[in-house]
Structure 1
Amino acid sequence: MNVTGGTTVKIYRSTKNRFGDKTNDKLIAAVPHCIHQPATGLNMAYHPNDDMAETTTLTCILWMPTGTDVRAKDRLKFNGATYAVLGTAWNTPHPVTGTVYSHFAVEITGVQ
């Protein structure tokens, strides 16, 4: 797959100070040529709560170029929204042919 378009995704990661407290998020990289695969109806959820507020979560897939350093709990910003990475990214060669793909899948979630 040769991606010439796509969107640029900024990867942010939080660090901790010497006391173990979270510091501000640090920009790790701006990655071009990423592909956002929107969620289907099964991955959208509406959660009412008792505070007269509404929360909507959206789980979808982001295809990132092979070699991108992305980890669980990283925050990804693109298209005016912020998403969190869920779990470990799937980035392995094909088990039978050994083919290394140009992009790998990252499951992300957004809270609106």
Structure 2
Amino acid sequence: MKKTLLLITLSSLLISCISQATPLPTPTVVTVSSTFTLTSTPESTTTSTALPTATPVPHPMSIIALRNGDYAGSEIVIEKELERGLNYRRYYVYYLSEGLKNLCTANYSKWRST
């Protein structure tokens, strides 16, 4: 029984290996006919055109733009004194320059020495 099973397995394997391979397509030859026509190369004509130069616009927060700005100034006005610290005072101050307000911290330990 074992010999028969082995014989059948080997014969089926052998038959599957011998089976016909699919035929490859036959190569076709492509002929390309080329005709060349000679033409004259165009001559370049040079014209000098002045190119406009771009003037860069500086960023509004750049130093150059801020230096070129016009700022109206005024006296510093202390609006209110805030809570004092151990060695400093804080003030809410404003001045007329683009509507800015500022928190000013003054170290008064230096004031005592002078």
TM range (shorter): under 0.3
> Which structure dedicates a bigger proportion of its chain to strand?
1
Name the TM-score, length of structure 1 as normaliser.
0.27
Between structure 1 and structure 2, the one with the greater Rg is 2
> Which structure dedicates a bigger proportion of its chain to helix?
2
Greater relative contact order (CA < 8 Å, ≥ 6 in sequence):
1
Name the TM-score, length of structure 2 as normaliser.
0.27
